[in-house]
Structure 1
Amino acid sequence: MTTTDMTTEPGLDEEQQEAIENCVDDWFTQDRARDYVREVVAKSGTSFGPGMAIMSRPQREAMYAIYAFCRDVDDTADDVTIGEDVRLDKLQLWRDEIDALYNDDPNWLTSLALLEPVYAFNLPKEEFLAMIDGMAMDAAETMRAPSREELALYTRRVAGSVGILSMRVFGPNDAIADKFALTLGDAFQLTNILRDVAEDGARGRVYLPREYMEQFGVPVPVTPEDVPATLHHPALGQVCAALADEAAALYRECDELAVQLDSRAIRPARVMWRVYAAYLQEMQARGWANPLATVRFSKFKKLRLAASGLFG
Structure 2
Amino acid sequence: MSATASPVAASSADAQALPAAGSSFYTAMRLLPAERRDAMYAVYAFCRAVDDVADDGGAREVRAAELDRWRADIDALYAGKPPARVQALVGPVKTYGLKRQDFQDVIDGMAMDAVEDIVAPSEQKLDLYCDRVASAVGRLSVRIFGMEEADGIKLAWHQGRALQLTNILRDIDEDAERGRLYLPLEKFQAVGLQNPTPQSALAHPRLAEVCAGVAAEAEEHYRTTWEIIRRNPRSATKAARLMAAAYHLYLDAVVKRGWTAPRTRVKPSKLSLIGVALRHGIV
Instruction: Check if 1:99 corresponds to 2:70.
Output: no
Instruction: Check if 1:289 corresponds to 2:260.
Output: yes
Instruction: Check if 1:274 corresponds to 2:245.
Output: yes
* 1:50 equivalent in structure 2: 27
Instruction: Check if 1:179 corresponds to 2:128.
Output: no
Partner residue of 2:124 out of 149, 174, 184: 149
Report the CA distance shift for 1:209/1:39 in structure 2 as closer, same or farther (over 3 A).
same
* 1:167 equivalent in structure 2: 142
* 2:110 equivalent in structure 1: 135
* 1:87 equivalent in structure 2: 63
Partner residue of 1:251 out of 222, 237, 249: 222
* 1:73 equivalent in structure 2: 50
* 1:216 equivalent in structure 2: 191
Task: Tell me the CA shift for residue 104 of structure 1.
Answer: 2.7
Give the TM-score taking structure 1 as reference length.
Answer: 0.82
Task: Tell me the CA shift for residue 298 of structure 1.
Answer: 5.9
Report the CA distance shift for 1:254/1:291 in structure 2 as closer, same or farther (over 3 A).
farther
Determine if contact 2:8/2:42 at 8 Å carries over to the other structure.
no
The C-alpha deviation readout for 1:235-274, integer Å capped at 9, x for no partner, is 2122111100111111111122222211221011111111
SS at match of 1:245: helix
Task: Tell me the CA shift for residue 296 of structure 1.
Answer: 2.3
Task: Tell me the CA shift for residue 71 of structure 1.
Answer: 0.8
State the identity %. 42
Determine if contact 1:198/1:293 at 8 Å carries over to the other structure.
no
Determine if contact 1:38/1:64 at 8 Å carries over to the other structure.
no
Task: Tell me the CA shift for residue 40 of structure 1.
Answer: 2.8
Aligned residues: 277
* 1:236 equivalent in structure 2: 207
Instruction: Check if 1:34 corresponds to 2:14.
Output: no
Report the CA distance shift for 1:164/1:42 in structure 2 as closer, same or farther (over 3 A).
closer
Task: Tell me the CA shift for residue 42 of structure 1.
Answer: 4.3
Question: Distance in 2 between the 1:32 and 1:79 partners?
Answer: 20
SS at match of 2:234: coil
Give the TM-score taking structure 2 as reference length.
Answer: 0.90
Q: Which amino acid in 1 is paired with 2:275?
A: R
Report the CA distance shift for 1:298/1:88 in structure 2 as closer, same or farther (over 3 A).
farther
Determine if contact 1:50/1:303 at 8 Å carries over to the other structure.
no
* 1:117 equivalent in structure 2: 92
Task: Tell me the CA shift for residue 291 of structure 1.
Answer: 7.8
Question: Distance in 1 between the 2:238 and 2:117 partners?
Answer: 37
Q: Which amino acid in 2 is paired with 1:205?
A: R
Question: Distance in 2 between the 1:99 and 1:64 partners?
Answer: 20
* 1:3 equivalent in structure 2: none
Which 10-residue stretch deviates more, 206-215 or 133-142? 133-142
